[in-house]
Structure 1
Amino acid sequence: MTPAYDLVAALPKVLLHDHLDGGLRPATIVELAREAGHTLPATDPDELGRWFVAAADSGSLERYLETFAHTVAVMQTPDALRRVAREAAVDLAADGVVYAEQRYAPEQHLEGGLTLQQVVDAVQAGFAEGVAEAASQGREIRIGTLLSAMRHADRADEIAALALANRDAGVVGFDIAGAEAGFPASRLATAFRSLRDAWFPVTVHAGEADGLGSITEALGVGALRLGHGVRVLDDITLHEPGTDGAPPAATLGRLAAWVRDRRVPLETCPSSNVQTGAAASVAEHPVTLLRRLGFAVTVNTDNRLQSGTSLTRELALLVEHAGWTVDDVRDVTLTAAENAFLPQDERAELIDRAILPGYTHDGTGRHRA
C-alpha cells in the first residue's frame, strides 16, 4: 500500500474492460478444481496466484491466453458460474468500482452440458447476488454484461443472437476476444451486421497484439470502443515531448486522427499491456501520451488474476510512475462513465450521483470520497 494507492482507493471508479474468467479468486479456483477433478499447477491459493502472474508475464498475448485453460475449466456448471460472478461483483465493489462491464465468452462454458442461455442465466444470477451482497456491506455497484465471441471460432452469429436475446436482461454489449493476429474482425462480418441492424453496442479487442490494420478492421465492423487500442500510437509521429503542461507536438495519421477526433474510447489496460508486450512499462505506457494528445482514454484491469491487480492499483501505478494527478483519475473515470453501454440518462445519473460527489474538495483542498 502506498499513499497513491490509498488516495485512489477512496475514489469512485468505472471499469469497462474486465474479463470474468480472468478475475477469479485463487482460493475459489482451488476449491472448484477439486470438485471438478481438474489438475492445477499449484493447490495453495497464494502460490497459485503467483503462478498466474508469472505465467502471464511472458511478453506474448498467446502465452498469456494459455493461463485461461485453468480458469475456464472450473467454470462449467451453473453453481460455479454463479459463484464466480457473485464474487466478481463483491470484489469490484470492495475496490470502489461503482459501475463495471464484465465480459466473458459463453461458448467456452459448455463442456458440462450447459446451453448458451443457461450459461448466461447462471452468470446473471451471480451478478445479481453479488450486487445485493455488496449493498448489504454498504457498497453500491452496477454490473453490465458484455458477451464475447472467440475470434478464431465460428460461433459469432450465435453469440450475437444470444446477446440480442438478453439485451433486456443485463447484457449491454458484444465483444470479440482471443488471439488478434490472423483473425480479423471482418471474418465475423455477419454477426456485426446483425448487431448493427438491431442498434446494439459493440466493442472489439484491437490494437493490442496486432497493429493499425486490426484497428481499421474494428472500426469497419462498427466498434464504438477499442479494447486496448494502444497500437494507434503507430500512426502518430512525435516531434517534441511538450513542456509546462503543453501537449506534445505530434503529427497524426488519418487513422489516429479519426480515432481521436471521433472520440473513439480506448480501453487501455496498463499492467496487462506490459505483460503481453504492447507497452514497455507503466511509466512509458501509451495511455499517458494519448491522453495528453486528446484521445478518449479509459484505464482498466483486463484480467485481475493474471495481472495480480485491481482498478485502484492500475490507477495508482499511473499516479506513482507516470505523474498522473487526481484530476487525471477523475477525467478518465468520467470518460469511462460517458462511454458505458448504458442509456444516456442512466450514464448521466451515474455520473451525478455516484462519481462526481466522490471528487469534490473539502475546505482544505483535499479530495474526499
Structure 2
Amino acid sequence: MVAMHDTPEFRLEFKNLTPALIDSLPKVLLRSTAPLSSLAHENAVYVEHVVDFSELDAAIEQASQAPFTVALLVRCRDESQVRRLVSDSSAIVVGVLVDDLAAANAARELYLPFVVEESLAAQVATGAPRLVNALELFDDFRINEDGEILLGRLGSWIRDRDTALVCDLLGDLASGDVDTLADYPLELLRSLGFNAVATGLDTALLSQLVDQLGLTLEDIFELTAAALDAAFLAKPLREKLFAEQLLPAFEPYTIGEATTEEEKEPEESEDVDLSGIDPIMLEQFGIDPDDLKK
C-alpha cells in the first residue's frame, strides 16, 4: 500500500505526551463496536463501525447523523446476506465481516471489500483485502543461528504484497495471546516490513501504548495514518480526510509542514478520478465532488 503522506517532523517540546495532548489528537477507529454516541468525545476522524446485518437500517440512520465520518462494516452470517447488501443504496456500507468462506467468495465476486475471520492462510487464499488474526503469523517465522527472523512463504506473501495486517491489541490481550500490551509485537511486525495496523486507537489505548511501549507523537501519527490508509473507504475520500482533518490536527506540533502526494508535484494538477464512486456516497459524507477536483 502506497502511503498518502510524509511523516512530519515534530517539535522536541512534545516529546513527552500529556493526557490532554493525546486526547486532542484525531482518531481513526477500525472495526469499532462501541456505540457511536460514546465516541463523540474521541475527536474521531473516521470510524469503521461493525454492525450486524439485522441492525443495518438503524445503523445507517445513526451513521448518517454522526458528527464524524462513519462507514459500516456489516457482519453477515451467510452468502445470502452478502448478496443482499449489493442492493444497499445508502453508500455508507463499505464492506462485510464474515466467518464463512462461501460468504467471503461471494463478497469477492461482487467486488465488496471483506474481512474473513479464518486462519491467515485461508484469508490469503480467499484474496481478502485486509487480514486479521495477525499473531498467527509468528507460526510462519523461524530464527536462524544469527538470531535473525526469517519469514516463511505465507509471511513473505503477505509482506511483499503490502496487505494490511490488522492487529487487535486489546482483543489479543483479553484472549491471553499476549500477557501485556508491552509484549505486543506491533512494532516488530512493522520493522519486518509488514503493513501492520491497529484497531481501537482511541484515547485510552493510545495512552496505554505511550506508557507501556513508549510511543512518540511520530509513532501515533504513523499508526493513525496507517489505519486510515487501510480503511475500506474509497481512496479519494481517505485522501480528503487525511489532508483536511488528520494532517491539520497534527500540524501545530510540527517543525515544518508535511506534504501530500499531490502537493509534491504542483506542476501537474490533475482532477481526482471519481469513476466508481457513488455520488450518493459523497453526499452522505457531506463532500462536494467539485472539491475533490481542486
Superposition TM-score, scaled by structure 1 size:
0.60
1:204 aligns with 2:218: no
SS of the counterpart of 2:98? strand
Aligned partners of 1:266, 1:317: CA distance in 2, in Å? 21
Q: Compared with structure 1, are the counterparts of its residues 258 and 363 closer, same or farther at alpha carbon in structure 2 (3 Å cutoff)? A: closer
Instruction: Indicate the residue corresponding to 2:87 in structure 1.
Output: 165
After TM superposition, list the pairs within 5 Å mapping 1:272-283 onto structure 2.
272-283=171-182
Higher relative contact order (CA 8 A, sep 6+): 2
Aligned partners of 1:15, 1:225: CA distance in 2, in Å? 15
Instruction: Indicate the residue corresponding to 2:154 in structure 1.
Output: 255
Q: Are the aligned partners of 2:197 and 2:230 in contact in 1 as well (CA < 8 Å)?
A: no
Instruction: Indicate the residue corresponding to 1:175 in structure 2.
Output: 97
Runs of 4+ with >6 A deviation: none
1:218 corresponds to which of 105, 123, 130: 123
Instruction: Indicate the residue corresponding to 2:71 in structure 1.
Output: 144
After TM superposition, list the pairs within 5 Å mapping 1:71-110 onto structure 2.
88-106=35-53
Query: Which ranges of structure 2 fall in alignment gaps of 5 or more residues?
Result: 1-15, 257-294
Report the CA distance between 1:354 and its aligned residue: 1.1
RMSD (Å), alpha carbons: 2.5
Q: Are the aligned partners of 2:159 and 2:195 in contact in 1 as well (CA < 8 Å)?
A: yes
In the alignment of these two chains, the number of paired residues is 241
Instruction: Indicate the residue corresponding to 1:233 in structure 2.
Output: 138
Deviations 1:132-152 (A, max 9, x none): xx3xxxxxx101001113xxx
Report the CA distance between 1:93 and its aligned residue: 3.4
Q: Are the aligned partners of 1:147 and 1:175 in contact in 2 as well (CA < 8 Å)?
A: yes
Instruction: Indicate the residue corresponding to 2:210 in structure 1.
Output: 319
Report the CA distance between 1:271 and its aligned residue: 2.0
The one-letter amino acid of 1:121's match is D
1:348 corresponds to which of 233, 239, 246: 239
Deviations 1:104-137 (A, max 9, x none): 222xxxxxxxxx4xx31111112223x1xx3xxx
Instruction: Indicate the residue corresponding to 1:123 in structure 2.
Output: 59
Q: Are the aligned partners of 2:141 and 2:155 in contact in 1 as well (CA < 8 Å)?
A: yes
Q: Are the aligned partners of 2:98 and 2:116 in contact in 1 as well (CA < 8 Å)?
A: yes
The one-letter amino acid of 1:347's match is R
The one-letter amino acid of 1:17's match is R
Q: Compared with structure 1, are the counterparts of its residues 165 and 294 closer, same or farther at alpha carbon in structure 2 (3 Å cutoff)? A: same
After TM superposition, list the pairs within 5 Å mapping 1:12-23 onto structure 2.
12-19=26-33, 23=34
The one-letter amino acid of 1:10's match is S
Report the CA distance between 1:169 and its aligned residue: 3.3
After TM superposition, list the pairs within 5 Å mapping 1:19-58 onto structure 2.
19=33, 23=34
1:264 corresponds to which of 163, 168, 176: 163
Q: Are the aligned partners of 1:270 and 1:299 in contact in 2 as well (CA < 8 Å)?
A: yes
Q: Compared with structure 1, are the counterparts of its residues 158 and 254 closer, same or farther at alpha carbon in structure 2 (3 Å cutoff)? A: same
Report the CA distance between 1:4 and its aligned residue: 4.7
Which stretch of structure 1 is more off in the superposition, 313-322 or 163-172?
Answer: 163-172
1:8 corresponds to which of 5, 17, 22: 22
